Amino acid sequence: MNRATKSGIAAEAQSKIEAKFSEQQAGECLQWIAEVTGKDMDTTGSADNFYELLKNGMLLCEVINTLMPGQVKKIQTSTMAFKCMENINNFTEGAKKAGVPSQETFQTVDLWERQNLNSVVVCIQSLGRKGSQFGKPSIGPKESEKNVRQFSDEQRRAGDSVISLQYGSNKGANQAGMSFGNTRHM
């Protein structure tokens, strides 16, 4: 990384971002990646280990190809910066196609330049919840499923006569006799 060290407000903001990183959650993500890909790897959730395992994007592309075969056409094996960032970008695009919402993905520099490893954890967790859809193990809470309900016209009309509690109640109060301050003098 060829960035100048941050100072002032930028350093404060970066320290807040780094404080959000959870070693436990990162370890769970690495454990899930190991289960899905069948790789034997160090699954400790330290920021250094997490970054070293994922920074070139090859492992992430393998995860996508395991969930959705053929999604990443060519995994770049070169350690050149551009090729690694291409792998990372292919992962995030594949994650979106797998159903990860765009607000839960991360920018390539978040991982490559180690700017925000927490956002990488969030993206992997979101992808991990989708694992069961692809016949693979999943992590985190089970995703909800649609529960569409059909109401008859009679049931819908019955609801029209009920005053919802969301409208609130003023318990008989009105604005009679209210005065705030003095009258306006012209």
The residue-averaged pLDDT of 24-49 equals 91
How high is the mean pLDDT of the chain?
87
Q: In this predicted model, what pLDDT tens digit does every residue of 135-159 receive, in sequence order?
A: 888 887 777 778 889 989 998 888 8
136 three-class SS? coil
Return the residue matching tokens 């649609």: 146
Per the CB < 8 A criterion, the answer to whether 138 and 69 are in contact is: no
Tell me what pLDDT residue 166 has: 66
Name which of 67, 89, 95 is nearest 76 in CA terms.
89
CA dist., res. 153 & res. 73, Å (int): 52
Using CA atoms, how far residue 118 sits from 12, 18, 91, 154, in Å, is 16, 7, 16, 50
pLDDT tens, residue by residue, 83-92: 999 999 999 9
Per the model's pLDDT, the better-predicted residue between 93 and 6 turns out to be 93
Residue 177 has pLDDT above 90, yes or no: no
Task: Work out the average pLDDT over 23-34.
Answer: 93
Domains in the chain, start-ordered, CATH in brackets? 9-134 (1.10.418.10)
Q: What is the 3-state secondary structure (H, E, C) of the chain?
A: CCCCCCCCHHHHHHHHHHHCCCHHHHHHHHHHHHHHHCCCCCCCCCHHHHHHHHCCCHHHHHHHHHHCCCCCCCCCCCCCHHHHHHHHHHHHHHHHHCCCCHHHCCCHHHHHCCCCHHHHHHHHHHHHHCHHHHCCCCCCCCCCCCCCCCCCHHHHHHHHCCCCHHHCCCCCCCCCCCCCCCCCCC
